[in-house]
Amino acid sequence: MYGRLGSGPEGKSPVTASTQEASQCIDAQIRVCKQVRQALVDAGLWRATDEGTRAHLVGPQPFLLSTEEASTLKKLGQALLAFYKAVNTLYLRRTDYRWAADYLDIGKPDDLLRHARMNYHKRALPLVIRPDILITQHGFVITELDSVPGGIGHLDCLSAAYERAGFDLLGGPRGMRDGFAQILREASGKDEPVCAIVVSDESEDYRPEMAYLASELRAVGFEAYTVHPRDVRFTEDGLYLENGSRIDVVYRFFELFDLLNIPKSELIAYAAKKRLVAVTPPYKHFLEEKLLLALLHSEPLRPFWQDELGEEYYELLRQTVSPTWIMDNRPVPPHAEISGFRWRGVPIRDWWVVAEGTQKERRLVLKPSGFSPLAWGSRGVKVGHDLSQEEWARSVDDALASFDTCPYVIQPFHDSIVQRVGYYDESTDSLRPMDARVRLCAYYYVVGDEAKLSGVLATACSSEKKLIHGMSDAVMAPCSVPTNGSYNRGRLR
């Protein structure tokens, strides 16, 4: 009904139908919204607050992508898997590029560095890959990669609800659940592994969706439980759940920067090292840094990436991944420049100069690279043209000052296209339009040598907001491709 959100499951359009048919179609769409909302409440993903029981807005249909966009997303999965493999090689095996590994090691404790280099998991990679993708006038732009992503259980619940309402989805109705089951088998090497999804206090907001996911896995015969780290029992034989089951695979839903605050984290790491349990994602800090995007764009590394990725994947990623630079505070020699970055049309030697720009010139984004409580959930993100001159200058100064403990990266601000989306307004029991910018989160599960696209979550925020992320006034929905291959893009500008 509104732009990319298409028509309802009956296939009728209020634009061309009679008044009575239009009213019936709107009623059907509102019923879909209520069904999806109830599914989220029943799953425990929405909890009552002073403002009511809602975590985000619900739309009457999935978010529509073109067949070309869906095809690009599928290709990106294999390219990103190749990229993670190449990063693993770059860090562990290529001494001729030690400077790149040195960037990834900044601020990390010695015990984590030693663990990351251990042979027992030298080939291990994240089995879930999630890029954050903006839709721009020039196509997709990847701004971040996440290998410990939230949203898995949430998207599974949304997908199942929309499938029951009659929609076909990218990844299938239960691609998120069934794909997760596949990676548990992949990690453990067993057909029916016992899984502990270990969620830390830092990640507490995601506990309901991971508990839901575990319950859905149990419904199809997997023994899976979402537990707090303190509930894992350690013996010399392995790790155990409180019900006495021996754990085959730990899904690590906690951040490596938080290890000192996680009960029994050392015992989990020890059990993994002794091959008493499989842990995924692996304890490899170098696979969880935003500055990996800067290394992809590094000219000195071009020959390495071309050899490891192949020309097709290298060019696809170079075209799709946002230009990114490391906020390195070390001086550049007088005859050199910061590669690829231009300020007022000329190269620079010192990042401090970007603090002086006008609001138009400050269309830049600062982010902590990783290994910090500010490095997830948009907590540490600073948008230059959304700040005063003084605030931006202070942000640049803070980023450069933290280089030796927590490096920052800088990216251009990418304008997402503005699209018309629809959502259900509970207060008026009606559908309303929103002019929005949209972020896609594509979820790939890695099984063998394949990164399979198992679901795509669209988050649509008001076009007035600079950052796109899950919030109470954002519309969140799975993605679909229209069966006839055409749709109204809903672009406003």
Give the mean pLDDT of 337-360.
93
Greater pLDDT, 468 or 115 = 115
Give the burial class of 28: count Cβ atoms within 10 A of its Cβ; 0-12 exposed, 13-18 middle, 19 or more buried: middle
| C-alpha span between 293 and 325 (Å, rounded) | 8
Segment among 78-82, 463-467, 477-481 with least mean pLDDT? 463-467
pLDDT tier for residue 12 given thresholds of 50, 70 and 90:
very low
- Rounded to whole angstroms, how far apart are CA atoms 84 and 227? 28
Q: What share of the chain is helix, strand, coil (3-state, %, to 5)?
A: 40, 25, 40
Can you tell me the mean pLDDT for 73-86?
A: 98
pLDDT digits (tens, 9 = 90+) for 226-260: 999 999 999 999 999 999 999 999 999 999 999 99
Candidate ranges 147-151, 196-200, 487-491; pick with highest mean pLDDT: 196-200
* Cβ partners under 8 Å of residue 406, min gap 6: 106, 107, 368, 369, 370, 371, 372, 374, 375
Q: pLDDT grade, residue 42 (50/70/90)?
A: very high
> Mean pLDDT, to the nearest integer, of 169-197?
96
Task: Please state which of the ranges 107-121, 161-175, 200-214, 475-489 shows the lowest mean pLDDT.
Answer: 475-489
CA distances from 33 to 156, 229, 330, 360 (A): 16, 36, 53, 40
DSSP tag of 428 = T
pLDDT number for residue 486: 52
Q: Please, what is the Cα angle at 296 between 122 and 408, to 5 degrees?
A: 90
Confidence at residue 54, expressed as pLDDT on a 0 to 100 scale: 62
Q: How far apart are the first and last CA of the chain?
A: 19
Whether the pLDDT of residue 195 is over 50: the answer is: yes
Instruction: Assess contact for 376 and 255: CB atoms under 8 A.
Output: yes
pLDDT at 188 over 70: yes
- pLDDT of residue 105 exceeding 60: yes
What pLDDT was estimated at residue 100? 97
CA dist 458 → 4, 57, 72, 82, 266 (Å): 11, 12, 16, 25, 37
Per-residue model confidence (pLDDT) at position 10: 42
> What's the rounded mean pLDDT across residues 76-83?
98
> Does position 369 have pLDDT exceeding 70, yes or no?
yes
pLDDT score for 397:
97
Structure tokens at 402: 């933290």
Q: Is 331 helix (H, G, I), strand (E, B) or coil?
A: coil
What tokens were used for 91? 């860090």
- Where residue 57 falls (left for φ over 0; alpha for ψ -120 to 50; beta otherwise) is beta
Distance CA 463, CA 351 (A): 30
C-alpha 389, offset from chain centre? 30
Going by C-alpha positions, the residue among 479, 375, 391 that lies closest to residue 59 is 479
Strand runs labelled E in 21-160:
63-64, 128-136, 139-146
Q: How far is CA 161 from the centre of its chain?
A: 22
Question: At residue 4, does pLDDT exceed 90?
Answer: no
For residue 1, pLDDT over 50 is answered with no
**Is residue 491 pLDDT above 60, yes or no?**
no
Q: State residue 46's pLDDT score.
A: 82
Contact 163/173 with Cβ under 8 angstroms? yes
* pLDDT score of 319: 97
The residue-averaged pLDDT of 17-21 equals 73
Q: Render 445-478 in DSSP notation, one character per residue.
A: EEETTEEEEEEEEEEEEETT-SS----TTSEEEE
Please say whether the beta carbons of 162 and 174 come within 8 A.
Answer: no
Residues 6+ apart with CB under 8 A from 285: 104, 105, 108, 112, 113, 116, 256, 370, 371
- Whether the per-residue pLDDT at 466 is higher than 80: the answer is no
Task: Return the pLDDT at 2.
Answer: 40
pTM comes to: 0.92
Quick one: pLDDT band at residue 458, thresholds 50, 70, 90? very high
* Lowest mean per-residue pLDDT among 3-7, 359-363, 411-415, 456-460: 3-7
Pairwise CA distance, residues 456 & 97, whole Å: 35
Map 100-117 to HEC letters: HHHHHHCCCCHHHHHHHC
pLDDT for the residue 156: 98
Mean pLDDT of 163-179: 95
Q: Look at residue 493 and tell me whether its pLDDT is greater than 60.
A: no
- The pLDDT value recorded for residue 393 is 96
Rounded CA separation 268/273 (Å):
9
Going by pLDDT thresholds of 50, 70 and 90, the confidence category of residue 14 is very low
3-state secondary structure of 408: strand
Look at residue 3 and tell me whether its pLDDT is greater than 70.
no
Q: Average pLDDT over the chain, rounded to whole?
A: 91
What's the pLDDT at 118? 97
